[in-house]
Amino acid sequence: MYQDSEHIMSSEDERSLLLGRFRSFGKENFQPDENPERNILTLVKENSKFLSFSLSSNISEVFIRLEEAPLYWVYDSPLIQYIEDYLKFHVLSEGLNEHYKTIKEFYCKWAIIKSDAERQYFSSSAVKIIEKFSNKNNFLYKIYLGVIYIYEKTQYNPEKGFELLKSAENVINDLNLNDKFKDELLYILNIFLGFAYLKEANPHDAIEKFQKALTSRPYGVTAKFYLSYSEIKCNNLSVANSLLEEILQYDIVRAQQGVEAASIGMFHYLNSHCVFKNVFFYNEFSVLIYDIEELVLRFKEKFKKLYTSFSSRYEKLKILKLNEYYDDDIIKYFSFFSKYEQSVNKNNLFNMCAAEIMNQKLDFGLNSIMEGIRTRFYSTLAESLQMFDSQLIDLAKRIEKTNNEIANEKTTYKEKLAEAIIDLEKKVNVEIQNVENQINDLPNEKTSDAKSAFASTMTYNFVFSSIVFLMGGSAGYSGTTNAEFANDLHQVLSQIVITGLKWSAISFLLGFIIALVSSGMAIVERQNKKQRLIQKISYLKSFKERRIEAIKNEYEKKSQFTISALQSHLEKQVEKQVSLIKEREEAESKLKEEIEQKIAAEVEFLKPLMPNTEAV
């Protein structure tokens, strides 16, 4: 096909026919402006509107036409705003800010006004002020001057323009700018350098600059467009055609964003401001007319099939009147579809490309409607199963209560057992303490004291011996005759004393022996009593151990009995729960089967509208 293009170039007549075909195709398919010199103020407003759209960075570029390039620095774009803020805080002093406003005003008026005399005045004024107040880091002033020297006829100095733009590029590379804006600024500068080379009829160097611009922004559509233009100038038709296809795809993706946003106004704007239609402002692209026709028709054929599918399905859906299932998104996109049907020329490629996204949104709507149908039918399922669910909830609470009772019983059993053991230990320990006190008091008991027993016995012995002394003396006196008493009183008294002492001594000796025996018996009795008390302590301790063991067994049996009863009750509750769950599952399965049958009947009319007719 490129060989055909080269062959066409060999004949002036054929070239004229080719140009006519090129213009006719462009007018028929892209409706380019009859007058390429557009109203400047309208252009500025339109670009401001474009910048208001929330487009992703790879499709949000303002296309810069070669002939209108100076206007780029008039737009209120995020890049221009960033440059002005940066210069205000890092380069311009407070006084120089006022000069910047004046310079910008002169530059904007020069770029917008068409009168040659006024353009000359404003450009000259801008140049004078810039040269007076410029400094090495003010790259924006260098750009203003460079653009004026390249585009203003009365100031035309391309060499100085190149120098200033390259100087601005060097300054930008050295400054610590935000990476995003820095890349965008370098991209724009290289485009302007490429434009300067094109104006100097130097497409080879222009190609280098446009390629360099694409290193900063690989998806840059302005760079691709004029790179394609420059490649044609250098007769690299295959490269130019490949770039045109990328530009066309760029426009298609961007136009489809209007459908994604469900905004018919945004959709119309993006279509009417597509980049590709600028091809038809440059006759140089006419050499690729056959390739352009093939490219456009290929996309048209694709989108025509998609639109046919969409239109058929959408019309059938409207007949079904399923509005009750429309959510906010469906209403929004279906409203867009209706406006599209009423206001769009279906022969326009970029209008046709909406079919791809509209089919996707229609699929989304159909799926949403089907989900709405399912939701409506399944909404009765929960109500039908409410009886089971209520019983299961109640049963779950009872199971939880029983488990808590079992856990509580295990806890309280240990607490009650500990309390009983502590109470027993207290009582036994009190008795043991009493016995130990008795043992400690044994030395103080007179009844078991050997000394006390001996002293008491000896007291009785002394009394008894005294009585025996008197009785023995009396008995000896009774054996004495009156003649003897009369003859010798002294002898008689001696006899009484001796006799009394004899019996008294015998009695005292016996009493002493008895006192010794009594004292010994007291000692033995104390030891015996101590042993009995010690044995009692051992008994109490043994009793305590036996009683503790008995209490443990008693409480364990009671606890096991209670827990066993609770566990038996729990098992019955769990069995009932399992049985109820099984009943619920069976009921749910049966209800779902009935619901699915109803859904199948309801969505039967939607099946043919789905992209996969087997979908339900």
**H-helix segments, 479-488:** 482-487
Mean pLDDT for 561-589 is: 89
Condensed to tens digits (0 to 9), the pLDDT of residues 202-256 reads 999 999 999 999 999 999 999 999 999 999 999 999 999 999 999 999 999 999 9
Contact 196, 162 (CB under 8 A): yes
Residue with tokens 């006084």: 95
Condensed to tens digits (0 to 9), the pLDDT of residues 313-364 reads 888 888 888 888 888 888 888 898 888 888 777 778 888 888 898 888 888 8
Q: Which tops the pLDDT comparison, 231 or 373?
A: 231
Residue with tokens 């159909």: 366
Contact 587, 392 (CB under 8 A): no
**H-helix segments, 175-263:** 179-199, 203-216, 221-233, 237-260
What's 61's DSSP letter?
Answer: P
Give residue 38's pLDDT.
Answer: 62
Contact 224, 214 (CB under 8 A): yes
Mean pLDDT for 457-478 is: 73
Q: Which residues contact 184 (CB under 8 A, 6 or more apart)?
A: 79, 216, 217
Query: In percent, how much of the chain has pLDDT > 70?
Result: 89
Residue with tokens 């004029």: 226
Q: What is the distance between the alpha carbons of residues 221 and 63, in angstroms, rounded to a whole number?
A: 7
Give residue 540's pLDDT.
Answer: 80
Give residue 279's pLDDT.
Answer: 95
Residue 3's pLDDT band (cuts 50, 70, 90): very low
**H-helix segments, 277-353:** 289-320, 328-343, 349-352
Condensed to tens digits (0 to 9), the pLDDT of residues 266-311 reads 888 888 889 999 999 999 999 999 999 999 999 999 999 998 888 8
Residue with tokens 């012995």: 461
- The whole-angstrom distance between residue 204's C-alpha and the CA centroid of its chain comes to 54
Query: Is 50 exceeded by the pLDDT of residue 581?
Result: yes
Residue with tokens 């006192």: 515
Distances from the Cα of 65 to the Cα of 23, 213, 276, 541, 549, angstroms: 19, 15, 12, 112, 105
DSSP string of 449-481, one letter each residue: -HHHHHHHHHHHHHHHHHHHHHHHHHHHHHTS-
> In the structure, how many helices (H) and strands (E) does the chain have?
21, 0
Query: Using CB atoms within 10 A of its CB, is residue 191 exposed (0-12), middle (13-18) or buried (19+)?
Result: buried
Mean pLDDT for 450-455 is: 68
Give residue 35's pLDDT.
Answer: 56
Give residue 126's pLDDT.
Answer: 93
Q: Can you read off the two tokens belonging to residue 122?
A: 């404003």
Q: Can you read off the two tokens belonging to residue 388?
A: 């089971």
Contact 379, 599 (CB under 8 A): no
Residue 5's pLDDT band (cuts 50, 70, 90): very low
Q: What is the distance between the alpha carbons of residues 63 and 248, in angstroms, rounded to a whole number?
A: 13
How many CB atoms lie under 10 A from the CB of residue 390? 10
Nearest to 403 by CA among 571, 581, 577: 571
Q: Can you read off the two tokens belonging to residue 442?
A: 């044994």
Mean pLDDT for 366-391 is: 86
H/E run at residue 106 = helix 94-112
Mean pLDDT for 510-533 is: 76
Contact 465, 504 (CB under 8 A): yes
